[in-house]
């Protein structure tokens, strides 16, 4: 009975551990609402612990279509924390703000050096270029951002989501579900992601 009890505890602990992955989603003024919402929502549905951090503090953030979103916390409050994934929603205004932020640069460099997952969509891959992250890797972005990326990356035009090692990138609002599900798969596994996709009525394979 003792051994059975220990075994059961271990299994329970392992199950909890599998579901304890964490993701930091950075929310900057001018972010693309769809890309942010879908990423945060899908990851939470997959059991990932998501922290939404406001670039400029914990107050309401006005996004690209004037939707205002209240972050969980200020980025400065969690800048030293370790996350399994750092997710950068796009939107030109939000991407420009993150590109100019030394705090975002520090977070991305630490994430890259630790081997943690970095995910960026739409205009947000330009943030990686600005901070010197993942140089030489394959990526994609919103088509208009290509000129800012072709010199330092292997740019992919014909895929909606591109994964190269610990980097995941995608193209824009219409690819947000595929992007979010691909990030979730890395953190929660294929079985869980297929379950989430089925509940959302989104095709995913």
Q: What is the mean pLDDT of the chain?
A: 93
pTM above 0.75?
yes
Write out the H or E segment, with its range, that includes residue 9.
helix 2-18
In 29-131, where does DSSP find H-type helix?
33-45, 75-78, 92-99, 102-114, 125-130
Please report which confidence band the pLDDT of residue 20 belongs to, taking 50, 70 and 90 as the band edges. Answer: confident
Please report which confidence band the pLDDT of residue 14 belongs to, taking 50, 70 and 90 as the band edges. Answer: very low
pLDDT of res. 12: 45
Instruction: Kindly state the average pLDDT of the residues 17-34.
Output: 88
Report the CATH number at residue 26.
3.40.50.880
- CA 123 to CA 172: how far, in whole Å? 8
Write out the H or E segment, with its range, that includes residue 7.
helix 2-18
Does 1 map to a domain?
no
Which is nearest to 85 in space by CA: 121, 49, 54, 56?
49
Strands (E), the chain: 22-27, 49-54, 61-62, 68-69, 73-74, 85-88, 117-121, 138-139, 154-155, 161-164, 167-170
Does 52 map to a domain?
yes
Say if CB 64 and CB 93 are below 8 A apart: yes
Does 8 map to a domain?
no
What are the pLDDT digits (tens) for 37-68?
Answer: 999 999 999 999 999 999 999 999 999 999 99
Please report which confidence band the pLDDT of residue 80 belongs to, taking 50, 70 and 90 as the band edges. Answer: very high
pLDDT at residue 13 tops 70: no
Q: Which of 10, 14, 63, 122 is catalytic?
A: 122
pLDDT of res. 7: 40
Our CA dihedral for 40, 46, 49, 52, rounded to 10 degrees, sits at 0
- Residue 136: which region, alpha, beta or left (left: phi > 0; alpha: psi -120 to 50)? left
- CA 156 to CA 178: how far, in whole Å? 16
Instruction: Kindly state the average pLDDT of the residues 109-134.
Output: 98
Q: How many domains does the chain have?
A: 1
Give catalytic status of residue 122 as yes or no: yes
Domain with 80, as residue range(s), is: 22-197
Does 66 map to a domain?
yes
């Amino acid at each position: 009975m003792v051994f059975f009890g220990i075994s059961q505890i271990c299994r329970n602990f392992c199950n909890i551990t599998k579901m304890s992955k964490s993701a930091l989603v950075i929310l900057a003024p001018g972010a693309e609402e769809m890309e942010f919402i879908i990423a945060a929502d899908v990851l939470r549905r997959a059991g990932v612990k998501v922290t939404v951090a406001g670039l400029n503090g914990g107050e309401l953030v006005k996004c690209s279509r004037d939707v205002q979103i209240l972050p969980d916390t200020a980025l400065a409050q969690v800048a030293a924390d370790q996350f399994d994934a750092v997710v950068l929603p796009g939107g030109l205004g939000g991407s420009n703000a993150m590109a100019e932020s030394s705090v975002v640069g520090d977070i991305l460099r630490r994430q890259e050096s630790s081997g943690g997952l970095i995910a960026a969509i739409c205009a947000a891959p330009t943030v990686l270029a600005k901070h010197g992250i993942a140089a030489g890797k394959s990526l994609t972005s919103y088509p208009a951002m290509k000129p800012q990326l072709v010199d330092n990356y292997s740019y992919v035009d014909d895929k909606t989501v591109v994964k190269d090692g610990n980097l995941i990138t995608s193209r824009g609002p219409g690819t947000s579900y595929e992007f979010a599900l691909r990030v979730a798969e890395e953190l929660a596994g294929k079985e869980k992601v297929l379950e989430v996709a089925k509940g959302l009525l989104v095709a995913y394979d």
